[in-house]
Amino acid sequence: MSKQNKLNPKLWVDNYADSMFTFAASRVSNNGVAEDLVQDTFLAALKASAHFKGDASEKTWLFSILKRK
C-alpha cells in the first residue's frame, strides 16, 4: 500500500476535527485559538503528507503535529 493510500485528508475534518479541537481547547484558553491550531495542523499535515511513514495511525500522526503547535 502506498503512502497516499494510508492518509485520507478528505476525511480528516469529519473524523478528527472535534477531538482535535477538544484537545487544543483544553490547552489554550481561547476557542478561536484552538480552532486555528486545528486548521494549522491540517495544513501542516497536508504539506508533510509525503513524509508520513505509516509507523503510527493517521490520528496519532495528526495529534502529534497538533501537540507541537
Beta-carbon count within 10 A of 27 CB: 12
Query: How far apart, in whole angstroms, are the C-alpha atoms of residue 53 and residue 55?
Result: 5
**pLDDT at residue 4, rounded to an integer:** 44
Query: How far apart, in whole angstroms, are the C-alpha atoms of residue 20 and residue 59?
Result: 9
Q: What is the pLDDT of residues 29-50, one digit of tens each?
A: 899 999 999 999 999 999 999 9
* Cut 0.85: pTM above it: yes
5 pLDDT above the threshold of 90: no
